[in-house]
Structure 1
Amino acid sequence: MRVLAALLLCAATAAQAQDPHAGHTVAPTPVPSEMDMEVSAPEPAAPPPASAVGNAPAPAPPTDHWADRDFPPAEMAAARANMMREHSGSFAQIIFNLAEAQFGDGQTGYRWDAQAWFGGDINRLVIKSEGEGAATLDSGEVQALYSRAIDPYWNLQAGVRHDFEPGPPLTYAAFGIEGLAPYWFDVEASGFVSTGGDVLGRLMLSYDQRITQKLILQPRAEFNLSAQDMPAQRVGAGLVNAELGLRLRYEISRKFAPYIGLSFDGKTGTTASYARADGEAPTATRFVVGVRSWF
């Protein structure tokens, strides 16, 4: 019996050694209360003292001259004044919009349309000239105009025009507007009043369609009008004539661009009757070769 009791005591001791929780009482897990689960709100920030409100200095206003932050302002002011002197001077340009030979109706003719100007961005003196002929000069004129810019795209012009041909020389007061219309159309609209009270008008439109950076197709239209018959100048009332042209030029440089094209010139009404009486055709289609240049 003593041996059996010793064996039972040893087995119990080994079981307690293998079970770490043997002989221990597990305490119940405490359940947090509602007060423990509440999250405390942060303490509100203290308001600034009343003496500091509205007394902070204002920031420096922005300026156009940002470089003055990095360079001496006096030196930058001198540089800006020098730049204004360099860019507000007088300039000049001579441009031949048309300088061409014309082939058609069994004869060779010529035509020019040129202008020169001298002045600044706002005020300029402008000289314009245009004409055409074959064996002799058929028509030719020159204008001297004062031009003033009224916005970045348009100029008002006024001055005098003098015609050499056709008929006896005649002088006009000239006025008009020229510039760049929306969609990049070049527009010239002019009116003329002669010393004898004759009234003429002219409208010219052109557009440069770039095919490449150097190859440009230019449609061009010019309409001349008269308020009365002028038999000595072989001009009738109404639409005197319309010239429609299509020229393809290649800019070897921006200053020199040869071109080829077609030009149609049609006289209407009484002007066409004058042409027939003089043995001329009222309409003509010509192949043209020329150069557009400026310097």
Structure 2
Amino acid sequence: MNSKRMNLIVAAIMTLSVPSVWAEEATKPTMTETEMGAMQGMDHSNMNSDANAMDSMSEMGSSKMNNDARPAEDHSGHDMSGSSEQASQGMKDMRQDDGMESGSMSMSMQGGEAPADARSPDYSDGYDFGSIPRPEFADEHNFASLMVDRFENVKTDKNNSVTYDMQAWFGRDYNRAVLKSEGDYDGGKLQEASTELLWSHAIASYWDVQVGVRYDSSEEVPDRTWLAFGVQGLAPYWFELDATGYVGEEGRVGLAFEGEYELLLTQKLILQPRFEMDLYSRRDAARGLGSGLSEASAGLRLRYEFKRELAPYIGVEWENKFGETKDFARDEGEDTSETRFVAGLRFWF
């Protein structure tokens, strides 16, 4: 009788212990690869002995217990090392796959060869216009323009004269032929003129590089021919700049710089400051030019644009000669500095 009670007590204890073991296994955190690797070197002899002890206890009570009691399963025959190896290998494969995906993603972000089914660079996919003529885009057409920036009457204390300053071009957006010309009429004659024929190439959105020749002519002094090279464009804050270097006969080198700015008082009333200066490396006594800074002028012109293409203006300008050029002018009885009042017309088409 006593042995029967003992068997019932043992069976009840075993039955109650099974759910707690399952709960404990469910709450265990997932093993890392290192822990799984460590399990491969563990001594499983104790686990087998514990399992044998459990089996002996179940055998003790199985002869006298009812069929309701279930014996504990024997895990001593399971190959746990194989399972851990498979799990470890699976984790390594997952990491390798992730590395390959991240590597391919970084390579795709860095560029590379286009896929075989990519569209053609011109988006035509091999189709042409057939019998229809191909359309021409804006940068494939030649255009022309003429800008007369100054066509004005100049009044000084001793004289009245007419001055012109113009620029024309023909070509496309990137390459153009440019003609620049300026001069002075006095007494019905062209006293002096400077003409430049240049090839202009766009190097930026607002800048052109220019190369060509310049020819200076005059009624009273010898003519001069120069090789010209420079840049012209729109600087930040909307300053219009034109800087050109010249290489002439007998090793003479010159530099001309012009700068303009347009201050919009209204949409039609515009004030234009303007600055200009000339420098030479060597003196040219025949033309009354000295080395270094030869002359400089600065002025203000106020214009009213009836249309963008047509605007009359009035203004004032100050001119000074420097260095040897000043000495040459004084020897000829000319003024070395003067104030000019101007009135003229600015137009373009």
Instruction: State whether TM-score is above 0.5.
Output: yes
Gaps of 5+ in 2: 1-100, 102-117
Matched position secondary structure for 1:82: coil
Matched position secondary structure for 2:135: helix
C-alpha distance 97-75 of structure 1, shift in aligned 2 (>3 A): same
1:231 and 2:259 are equivalent in the alignment: no
Structure 1 residue 103: Cα displacement: 0.8
Matched position secondary structure for 2:168: strand
Aligned counterpart, 2:174: 122
Matched position secondary structure for 2:282: coil
> For the residues of structure 2 that align with 1:178 and 1:212, how far apart are their CA atoms?
27
> For the residues of structure 1 that align with 2:212 and 2:332, how far apart are their CA atoms?
33
1:91 to 139, 143, 160: 143
Aligned counterpart, 2:216: 163
Aligned counterpart, 1:49: none
1:177 to 211, 231, 237: 231
> For the residues of structure 1 that align with 2:216 and 2:158, how far apart are their CA atoms?
27
> For the residues of structure 1 that align with 2:131 and 2:328, how far apart are their CA atoms?
66
* Pairing of 1:94-243 with structure 2 (within 5 A): 94-135=146-187, 136-165=189-218, 167-243=221-297
> For the residues of structure 2 that align with 1:291 and 1:277, how far apart are their CA atoms?
35
Gaps of 5+ in 1: 1-53, 55-60, 66-73
The residue type paired with residue 259 of structure 2 is L
> For the residues of structure 2 that align with 1:156 and 1:77, how far apart are their CA atoms?
39
C-alpha distance 265-77 of structure 1, shift in aligned 2 (>3 A): farther
Greater share of residues in strand: 1
Structure 1 residue 190: Cα displacement: 0.4
> For the residues of structure 1 that align with 2:331 and 2:308, how far apart are their CA atoms?
44
* Pairing of 1:249-288 with structure 2 (within 5 A): 249-288=303-342
Q: Which runs of 4+ in 1 moved over 6 A?
A: 74-79
Aligned counterpart, 1:58: none
C-alpha distance 106-90 of structure 1, shift in aligned 2 (>3 A): same
Structure 1 residue 107: Cα displacement: 1.6
Matched position secondary structure for 2:334: coil
Residue by residue, what CA displacement relative to the aligned partner does 1:135-163 show, whole Å, maximum 9, x if unpaired? Answer: 24442110000000001110000000000
Structure 1 residue 78: Cα displacement: 11
C-alpha distance 76-209 of structure 1, shift in aligned 2 (>3 A): farther
> For the residues of structure 2 that align with 1:76 and 1:207, how far apart are their CA atoms?
47
> For the residues of structure 1 that align with 2:142 and 2:282, how far apart are their CA atoms?
41
The 8 Å contact of residues 139 and 172 in structure 2, kept in 1 or not, is answered as: no
The residue type paired with residue 154 of structure 2 is Q
Residue by residue, what CA displacement relative to the aligned partner does 1:116-175 show, whole Å, maximum 9, x if unpaired? Answer: 100000000001001224324442110000000001110000000000026211110000
The 8 Å contact of residues 199 and 210 in structure 2, kept in 1 or not, is answered as: yes
Structure 1 residue 83: Cα displacement: 5.6
Aligned counterpart, 1:26: none
* Pairing of 1:51-62 with structure 2 (within 5 A): none
Greater share of residues in helix: 2
> For the residues of structure 2 that align with 1:207 and 1:112, how far apart are their CA atoms?
19
Matched position secondary structure for 1:281: coil
The 8 Å contact of residues 139 and 173 in structure 2, kept in 1 or not, is answered as: no
* TM-score normalised according to structure 2 size: 0.61
> For the residues of structure 1 that align with 2:206 and 2:237, how far apart are their CA atoms?
12
Larger CA Rg, structure 1 vs 2: 2
The residue type paired with residue 261 of structure 1 is G
> For the residues of structure 2 that align with 1:147 and 1:211, how far apart are their CA atoms?
33
> For the residues of structure 2 that align with 1:78 and 1:254, how far apart are their CA atoms?
42
C-alpha distance 159-75 of structure 1, shift in aligned 2 (>3 A): closer
Aligned counterpart, 2:115: none
> For the residues of structure 2 that align with 1:284 and 1:123, how far apart are their CA atoms?
40
Aligned counterpart, 1:44: none
> For the residues of structure 2 that align with 1:182 and 1:77, how far apart are their CA atoms?
46
CA RMSD of aligned residues (A): 2.8
Residue by residue, what CA displacement relative to the aligned partner does 1:78-137 show, whole Å, maximum 9, x if unpaired? Answer: 99x6262x5520000111111100111132111111011000000000010012243244
> For the residues of structure 1 that align with 2:234 and 2:131, how far apart are their CA atoms?
36
Q: How many residue pairs are counted as aligned between the two chains?
A: 231
* TM-score normalised according to structure 1 size: 0.72
